[in-house]
Amino acid sequence: MESSHRTAACIRALAVICLMVAAIGSGTEPLRAQSRTTSLPVLPAPVAVTMQAGECVIFRGTPVFADPLFQHAAQSLAELISSAAPTPFEHRVVPSIRFVLAPPGITGEAYHLRISAEGIVIRAGTDAGAYYAVQTLRQLLPSCIEGGSRFRAWRIPCMTISDCPRFSWRGVSLDCSRHFLPVPEIKQIIDRMAALKMNRLHWHLTDDQGWRLEIRAYPELTRVGAWRGEGSTRYGGYYSQQDVRDLVAYAMARHVVIVPELDMPGHATAALASYPWLGCRAETEAVAETWGIFETVLCPGRETTYEFIETVLREVVDLFPSPWIHVGGDECRRERWWSCDSCHASQRRNRLLDVNYMQSYFTGRVESMLARLGRTPIGWNEIAEGASKSTIVQAWYHVEVGIEMSQQGFQVICSPIEPYYLNYHHDYNTLEKVYSFDPIIGHPWPDGGKSVLGIECCLWTESLPTPVEVNRMLFPRIAAVAEAAWSEAQRKDWDSFRLRLGVLGGRWRQQGQDFLPLDEVLWDNGEPLTMKSVDRPMLDDGVPFQDATRFVLSGLSEGRPAVANPNASAFPVSSMPPVVARFDSTEVAIDYAYTHPELIDGYTVRGMHKKMNPWAELIDSLSLDGLCHLSRAEKGRTSPRMELFPNPLSPTGQTAEFRVRLTIDELGPVEVSVYDLRGERVRSILVQALPFGTWTIPVTIENFAAGSYMVVTRAAAHTGATMLHVLPSQ
């Protein structure tokens, strides 16, 4: 009986929806007061965009004219729109696409893009700048062109874009030692990086679990060191020198520099398994089959070790034109050095205090080799002990380490574990945490951050054995890193980013890129942000650490902090209230260091409603051949299914029809809005009081001009400022 009533109610509700959709016009008021969607679907966000009247129509085969300096960038665009090869001879053709050498003010990776009724003009000082202009233009075209559609024409609003990067180093570190990643998968990552204007692929090629680079002078490195386990558990692989040359050329054409890393003197088990004489004991080792930090490190006391390294580096430099070579230097255990006669003899010969200083000596020797080879060394922050200031330090513990390195005079690449280690799960280094982090703003850099070359996210693959798992950890969070690396900090906007990421997700899908579906990403859940206490760490005498206490979200409407410790007298007396040290969608850190323990229980944590993910997808229905409809069928109340019926390209506009499918699990109105690339809302539909369940809302728009649009759904119950308060209990 109850089931029958529920079915009848759903039928009545569906009828109401149909009547409402038919009755509501394009002038419907928005669901609530909100800022207009002004962001172009471009990621990372450009520095400056000026919208202008009119539109430009790009046809399949629109001619491309280019100065010879821009041949690579122009060719990539010509292939995208099925145009003939670019030519330097400009004819009076309208519309056309022209690549022009910029005036002296536009240099490096900067560009200026002008879209007018006469065509498109790209101005840059280098091919890299022109290439990045193409990536911006590509995102203004329909994503259907990525999937091989018979693209014929598309309309783009007139505008001018001036753009340049915030950081020169915009990187991704990819570990292919723990688990081998095939060359085609690496090329796909390079493609996605280049589209996001990222320009450094830091390639981790050697570690305890595998040596992945062919070195012809030492064939055992790949014959033995590239494989671990026996029989059915045998695992491995390596990159031949031809593979490397192919990948390097592929990346260079996309303005991505591949920076190889050969980790030394630690993380060297695979090298010692290949050539035992590289170690202090000269004993036969096995390539590591487990994860961790091992005692099997290179012996820094023997000249044969340095002869090996220099021979390897000569081949590496021949393979990689990168100005930088990463030499690792992290997590080097030194137990075996203490029992090694060669290390002690070298220590005495070089007048070192003890064998612990052998790593500094080792670093200096490797620096000298790379200097002779015309390369700059990079190392993890441990390498700063003994490195000269010509070495670049990659700070991975946290930002404060990078600041310390800067104070010592080093140039720094920021890769803090929180939030830029993307092998950490999405519920720890959340998308919001990655996006909201800034390596400069709010941190006391001695030079205001001028020593920071840039940022790099890291993907370590111990727990990522397949390309699917690699891609689903890297994407979509790589987009948040890309925007932090390219766009000025003041341009970052979380709400705008979520909209643009939805659009980018549609493009990735057309390109065949695997990524964690956006409705599986841990977005704000729309509930009040509430806390549940976690046990505080204690010192030996039972006194709590003077540090942030971590709290995690709970399903309760209200949570209470940790209760006072019985050993209250040992705690410094203070009446300062708790301080919110950090928060995002999944975790809150509250600092009670200066709050008397007797007062802690007098505070409760309350949070406002947090914002839902406003989903957006690029609508690609209006191509001439009608092949560009889009269909999604993924779960989640803010991940609509859109099915767009083909409409011919027409200057007078046609009728666009599509359906939004969404799941309601909390009562309240739902708004479906359609925005054009100018950020103007062309249609808005408000549906009141949907019952629980999954619904399909039909939308019809008359006089719908051909072009690209965004569809955004919003649920009223899940909107509000993202903020947190710690208030005294009432």
Measured CA to CA, the distance from residue 78 to residue 715 in angstroms comes to 42
Mark whether 109 is an active-site residue: no
CA distance between the termini of the chain? 46
DSSP code at position 623: -
- Rounded CA separation 333/345 (Å): 19
User: What is the C-alpha separation between 530 and 615, in angstroms, rounded?
Assistant: 24
Write the CB contacts of 700 (distance below 8 Å, at least 6 apart in sequence): 655, 656, 657
Check 331, 462, 527, 587 and give the catalytic one: 331
Please give the Cα distance from 472 to 461 (Å, whole number).
Answer: 12
Is the backbone peptide bond immediately before 651 cis, with ω within 30 degrees of 0? Answer: no
Q: What is the DSSP string of 107-159?
A: -TT-EEEEEETTEEEEEESSHHHHHHHHHHHHHHS-GGGGGT----EEEEEEE
Catalytic hit among 179, 255, 267, 718: 267
The pair of three-digit structure tokens given for residue 728, joined into one six-digit string: 């005294």
CA separation for the pair 264, 380 (Å, rounded): 11
Which residue has tokens 């991704």? 172
Partners of 528 in the β-ladder: 609
CA 328 to chain centre: 22
Alpha-carbon 471 to chain mean position: 11
Residue 710 and residue 675 in contact, taking contact as beta carbons nearer than 8 Å: yes
Convert 143-154 to b/e letters by CB count within 10 Å (16 or more is b). bbbbbebebbbb
Active-site residue identified among 109, 185, 207, 214: 207
Name the phi and psi angles at 111, rounded to 5: -155, 165
What is the C-alpha separation between 706 and 725, in angstroms, rounded? 47
Nearest to 52 by CA among 107, 8, 118, 3: 118
Count of helices and strands (H, E) across the chain: 18, 30
- How far is the C-alpha of 172 from the C-alpha of 270, rounded, in Å? 24
Phi, psi values for residue 656, rounded to 5°? -105, 135
Rounded to whole angstroms, how far apart are CA atoms 44 and 485?
Answer: 9
d(CA 719, CA 730): 26
The answer to whether 62 and 155 have CB atoms below 8 angstroms apart is no
Q: Which residues contact 14 (CB under 8 A, 6 or more apart)?
A: 695
CA 443 to chain centre: 21
> CA 248, CA 320: separation in Å to the nearest integer?
7
Q: Annotated catalytic, 331?
A: yes
| In 542-669, beta strands by DSSP E | 548-553, 579-583, 587-591, 603-607, 615-619, 641-642, 654-664
Backbone dihedral angles phi then psi of residue 219, each to the nearest 5 degrees: -65, -25
| Ramachandran quadrant class, 707 (left: phi over 0; alpha: psi -120 to 50; beta: rest) | left
In whole angstroms, give the CA distance from residue 17 to residue 22: 8
Q: For 609, phi and psi rounded to 5 degrees? A: -60, 135
Residue closest to 649 by CA, chosen among 626, 629, 631, 630:
626
* Residues 6 or more apart whose Cβ sits within 8 Å of residue 12: none
Identify whether 55 is a catalytic site residue. Answer: no
Q: Give SS3 for 564.
A: coil
CA distance 235 to 209: 10
Q: Which residues contact 15 (CB under 8 A, 6 or more apart)?
A: none
Please report, as a single letter, which amino acid is at residue 129: G
Annotated active-site positions, please? 207, 267, 331
